[in-house]
């Protein structure tokens, strides 16, 4: 079946793209393993795992079978007043791999909605236990939490794609981005802004929301675990909830199953998504503690006021169960370690390029930060010409490949990135 690219260009809106002069798109007709297959039969090694979600690659037999088996039972059923085996099993699996204190699960239908739910949980919790004045949130500069309105309100208000909406959004508090890199010595003074803000406003602040260890769309920044541990300690001291947005970092991407493990902390509310279903279907989850759930349930509303139509979709639950089953075998640990080792070795020469500001690697994440914003269309054409799929943005060229990627495929990705920066 031929893809009508002229129709696509004229009528279909792609993410973050103008309809006046849209970026070019490439027609994918199939995918398998770690490769995308174009209409002209060209194969591209996928360096982004479909925005970090397809950790097991494409057409994985276990995941394919899970969807097929569930389809023979039911594709969807509402979750209001109904439960089903796949949802119960999924929640059991999530509780088995997350910290014991997180034992209530809300199954959402996208990462951005998981953040919306987390914010609702935090605000409603304080309402329920009589602290109605706690309505403010704290976030970090360079942070990104999604494209819906409550999520946008806790994204960096200036240096982000949402700055044009800043006057329309609820106004929250923003701390300086963590400035102690992951592999450097921790600067304790970097926690001073949070400490000072909490001293002044803790009676009005409901929660601090952050991406643990890795700030994603805000610049692929890796920060020191001690900063995260310090945030947890200060939230405890001043009775403020901590929301960990692990939508991008969860399920092994950083080398730990969850990035919070690197700081040995547990959030009060945890957001998961992306790799939850192995990239097969849209699904997310928001987990919280008993204390948060009790506060929410004691509020005037009497329950969490959120209920997506496709919440706990059985097909998505089934493939999420299969994906978590693969994760729980532990094979990802060796895969991610091998990816990290190879990325460090093969991206290191890029530091010699005058175009490159910094090369950094953590787990199955490799980043070239450039001095200037890149020409996305031009670079995309270069990468496709080299037989790879790498999606740069702003000043970043980065890799987040499937965990099952081969050494040869990683080398091809790194070779193309080195060519792109002239080394």
Annotated ligand binding at 415? The verdict is no
**C-beta of residue 169 within 8 angstroms of C-beta of residue 160:** no
Q: Which residues contact 268 (CB under 8 A, 6 or more apart)?
A: 122, 207, 235, 241, 242, 243, 288, 289, 291, 292
Catalytic site residue from 144, 182, 217, 280 = 144
H or E element at residue 138: strand 136-140
Annotated ligand binding at 51? The verdict is yes
Count of beta carbons in the 10 Å neighbourhood of residue 42: 13
Half-sphere exposure (CA, 13 Å, Cβ side) for 323? 31
| Structure tokens, 42 | 């060209």
The reply to whether 16 belongs to the active site is yes
Annotated ligand binding at 274? The verdict is yes
Annotated ligand binding at 308? The verdict is yes
Catalytic site residue from 142, 156, 274, 386 = 274
Annotated ligand binding at 391? The verdict is yes
| Structure tokens, 95 | 């509780």
SS3 308: coil
Annotated ligand binding at 179? The verdict is no
Catalytic site residue from 46, 245, 268, 386 = 245
Count of beta carbons in the 10 Å neighbourhood of residue 354: 9
**C-beta of residue 227 within 8 angstroms of C-beta of residue 158:** no
SS3 83: coil
The reply to whether 245 belongs to the active site is yes
Count of beta carbons in the 10 Å neighbourhood of residue 341: 12
The reply to whether 217 belongs to the active site is no
Q: Which of 1, 2, 27 is nearest to 14 (CA)?
A: 27
Give CA separation, 258 vs 249, 255, 365, in Å. 6, 8, 14
In 178-291, DSSP assigns E strands to 205-210, 214-215, 221-222, 241-245, 269-272, 284-289
H or E element at residue 173: strand 173-175
The reply to whether 69 belongs to the active site is no
DSSP string, 310-352: TTT-HHHHHHHHHHHHHHHTSHHHHHHHHHHHHHHHHHGGGGG
Residue ranges for the binding site for substrate?
Answer: 51, 144, 274, 307, 391
Residue ranges for the binding site?
Answer: 51, 111-112, 144, 245, 274, 307-309, 391
Q: Which residues are part of the catalytic machinery?
A: 16, 144, 245, 274
Residue ranges for the binding site for pyridoxal 5'-phosphate?
Answer: 111-112, 245, 308-309
């Amino acid at each position: 079946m031929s893809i009508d690219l002229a129709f696509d260009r004229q009528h279909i809106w792609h993410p973050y793209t103008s309809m006046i002069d849209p970026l070019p798109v490439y027609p994918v007709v199939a995918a398998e393993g770690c490769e995308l297959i174009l209409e002209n039969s060209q194969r591209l090694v996928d360096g982004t795992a479909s925005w970090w979600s397809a950790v097991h690659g494409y057409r994985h037999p276990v995941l394919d079978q899970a969807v097929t088996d569930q389809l023979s039972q039911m594709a969807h059923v509402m979750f209001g007043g109904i439960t089903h085996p796949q949802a119960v099993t999924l929640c059991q699996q999530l509780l088995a791999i997350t910290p014991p204190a997180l034992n209530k699960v809300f199954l959402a239908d996208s990462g951005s909605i998981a953040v919306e739910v987390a914010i609702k949980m935090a605000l409603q919790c304080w309402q329920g236990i009589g602290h109605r004045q706690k309505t403010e949130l704290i976030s970090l500069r360079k942070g990104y939490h999604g494209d819906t309105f409550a999520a946008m309100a806790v994204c960096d208000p200036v240096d982000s794609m949402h700055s044009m909406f800043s006057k329309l959004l609820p106004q929250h508090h923003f701390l300086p981005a963590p400035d102690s890199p992951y592999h450097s010595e921790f600067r304790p003074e970097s926690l001073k802004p949070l400490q000072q803000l909490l001293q002044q406003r803790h009676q009005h602040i409901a929660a601090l929301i952050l991406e643990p260890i890795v700030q994603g769309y805000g610049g692929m920044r890796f920060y020191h675990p001690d900063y995260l541990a310090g945030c947890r300690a200060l939230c405890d001291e001043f009775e403020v909830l901590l929301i960990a947005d692990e939508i991008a970092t969860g399920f092994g991407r950083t080398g730990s199953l969850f990035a919070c493990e690197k700081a040995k902390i547990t959030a009060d509310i945890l957001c998961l998504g992306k790799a939850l279903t192995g990239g097969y279907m849209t699904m997310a989850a928001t987990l919280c503690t008993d204390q948060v759930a009790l506060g929410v349930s004691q509020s005037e509303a009497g329950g969490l006021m959120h209920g997506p139509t496709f919440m706990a979709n059985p097909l998505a639950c089934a493939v999420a169960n299969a994906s978590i089953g693969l994760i729980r075998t532990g094979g990802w640990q060796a895969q991610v370690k091998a990816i990290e080792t190879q990325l460090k070795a093969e991206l290191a020469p890029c530091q010699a390029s005058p175009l490159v500001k910094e090369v950094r690697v953590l787990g199955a994440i490799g980043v070239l930060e450039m001095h200037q914003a890149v020409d996305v269309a031009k670079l995309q054409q270069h990468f496709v010409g080299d037989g790879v799929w790498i999606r740069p943005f702003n000043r970043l060229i980065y890799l987040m490949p499937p965990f099952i990627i081969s050494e040869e495929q990683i080398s091809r990705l790194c070779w193309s990135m080195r060519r792109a920066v002239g080394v």
